[in-house]
Structure 1
Amino acid sequence: MEFSEKMQQLRKQRGMSQEKLAEIIGVSRQAVSKWESGQSYPEMDKMLSLSELFNVSVDSLVKDAPSNPPPMEITHISQPAVDRRFMYHYEYKSKKTWFGVPLIHVNIGRGVYVAKGIIAVGNIAIGGLSVGIITLGGLCLGALALGLFSFAGLAIGLLLSMGGLAVGAIAVGGLAVGIFAVGGLSVGVFSIGGCAIASHIAIGGYASGHIAIGDSVHGAYTLAIQDNDFSSIKAEQVESLIHQEYPRLWNSITARILSLFN
């Protein structure tokens, strides 16, 4: 009996599909198909895994001799440690869809698994609400996030981003870059932080901007605090300076800045 025939027989005896066998061994289904059709042979490490999985010797697999071991319960199979890496995978896709996109798609495991759905959870997640290592979409949570609202180690958000490194219209993080930036080091049009650099208004321990308010200040108009106390600067002083330099600035922005000094 040829190797390809033995493969089919052993797999079917244990009620495995080609996909399931491929997942356990750590190869593609196409690879298993080629083994069973005689187009190719497994590499030695895969041959050893097959030997342990089917509880037969490597010789009995490769030699042209009868091989018909008694069926065994799956619970008695001892799989090599290398195979268990490929067992960690879970996927769920809801039947309900919205414009052809699953309402919920969960696809996680050790490897590269992509989840696409209105709610997506995966190693790589793409959706309205995305949770994963790398996420893209509306509301994103992950190590690396890109979306309208992003919360991550590295967060890039069109509207709001929060993370170690945050880039967005409103950015909050250790390093924040945005129109409104708040962080240890903040760079933007309006910046607040330990080190704040802004084109318009900068507020921080070190502040550099057209209007600079802080302990160490550099700019066209500066207000230096006393004894690291921002309350030493009156809100009226700041309001007068803002109205003088930026008379068309939205009242909501002005009010937010003034709240720091009230």
Structure 2
Amino acid sequence: MDLQDRLYRLRKERGLSQEELAHSLGVSRQAVQKWESGSSRPDLDNLTALAQCLQVSLDYLILGKEETPPQEEPPAAYAPFWAWHYEYKSKATLFGLPLVHINVGHHGLYWARGIIAVGNLATGVFSLGGLSAGLLSVGGMSVGGLALGGLGVGLAALGGLAVGALCAIGGLALSLGLAMGGGAVSASWAIGGGAMAGQIAMGGAASAPIAIGEAATGAVTFPKDGWGPGTGQAIRSAIQTMFPHTPGLLVEIFSQFL
């Protein structure tokens, strides 16, 4: 059995695709394909990485020599490493994509692509994964129309760091529309501990043309020490005069939540 045959058999035994093995090694899928066809051979660095990934010795991978087992096996001090992988792909499709694709595992970057996608890396209309992208995406890092994650980027985003075109809510929120968070920065409206906006800002420290807060900086300001019974109406009048196209709900939020 030649190197290419051993490489093919070991990869299949471990349930890895050429793409998954290539990702683990940091090479292209075409490189793995050439190694298995015998049209090229991996260099020493790639041979070492292959042996580690496939959990065999270099001697066995290159020459097919089995390692001599020790006479006495020492007691295991810890549980051996094991990898798991699960994949399900529905037969029904829409626009060429499976309706449901689940591709998750312990070792490697498993990519799920479907209308509903769940994987280490997921892309779909609805996606759930460590890295996810979709119309509705949930993950450690998510990109989508509605994105929820540690880092969320989308039309509407919710996360530790949230960047949204229309709305962003998070520890640090950046938006062209409404930003809400510990630190909120927006081209239009911002609410947060520290709030900066192109139109209206409200927070502990607020900076905007209309600024409402304990420390307020702007063309028209409503500092906390000056709030009184008529402050809400004064804020409403200022907003309607300077920014008459502000949505009514936001006008009420800025004028009522003092």
Instruction: State the TM-score, normalized to the length of structure 2.
Output: 0.72
Indicate the SS of the match to 1:226: helix
Give the unaligned 5+ runs of structure 1. 52-56, 68-80
Question: 2 CA distance for matches of 1:173 and 1:148?
Answer: 16
What CA RMSD, in Å, does the superposition of the two structures yield over aligned residues? 3.8
1:217 equivalent to 2:213? Answer no
Question: 2 CA distance for matches of 1:32 and 1:50?
Answer: 17
Question: 2 CA distance for matches of 1:217 and 1:247?
Answer: 21
Question: 2 CA distance for matches of 1:21 and 1:146?
Answer: 32
Match of 1:20 in 2: 13
Partner letter of residue 242 of structure 2? E
- Give 1:220 deviation, angstroms: 0.2
- 2:93–2:99 contact (8 Å) kept in structure 1: yes
Question: 2 CA distance for matches of 1:142 and 1:231?
Answer: 44
The 1:100/1:152 distance shift into structure 2, 3 A limit, reads: same
Match of 1:167 in 2: 163
- Superposition map of 1:152-231 within 5 A: 152-158=149-155, 160-168=156-164, 169-178=166-175, 179-188=177-186, 189-226=188-225
- Superposition map of 1:142-161 within 5 A: 142-158=139-155, 160-161=156-157
Instruction: State the TM-score, normalized to the length of structure 1.
Output: 0.71
Question: 2 CA distance for matches of 1:138 and 1:231?
Answer: 44
The 1:233/1:224 distance shift into structure 2, 3 A limit, reads: farther
Indicate the SS of the match to 1:248: coil
Match of 2:92 in 1: 96
Match of 1:77 in 2: none
Indicate the SS of the match to 1:215: strand
Moved more, 205-214 or 98-107: 98-107
The 1:248/1:118 distance shift into structure 2, 3 A limit, reads: same
Question: 1 CA distance for matches of 2:40 and 2:194?
Answer: 64
Question: 1 CA distance for matches of 2:153 and 2:114?
Answer: 20
Give the unaligned 5+ runs of structure 2. 23-31, 67-77
Partner letter of residue 203 of structure 1? M
Match of 1:71 in 2: none
- Superposition map of 1:39-58 within 5 A: 43=47, 46=51, 49-50=55-56
The 1:233/1:154 distance shift into structure 2, 3 A limit, reads: farther
- 2:35–2:41 contact (8 Å) kept in structure 1: no
State the identity %.
35
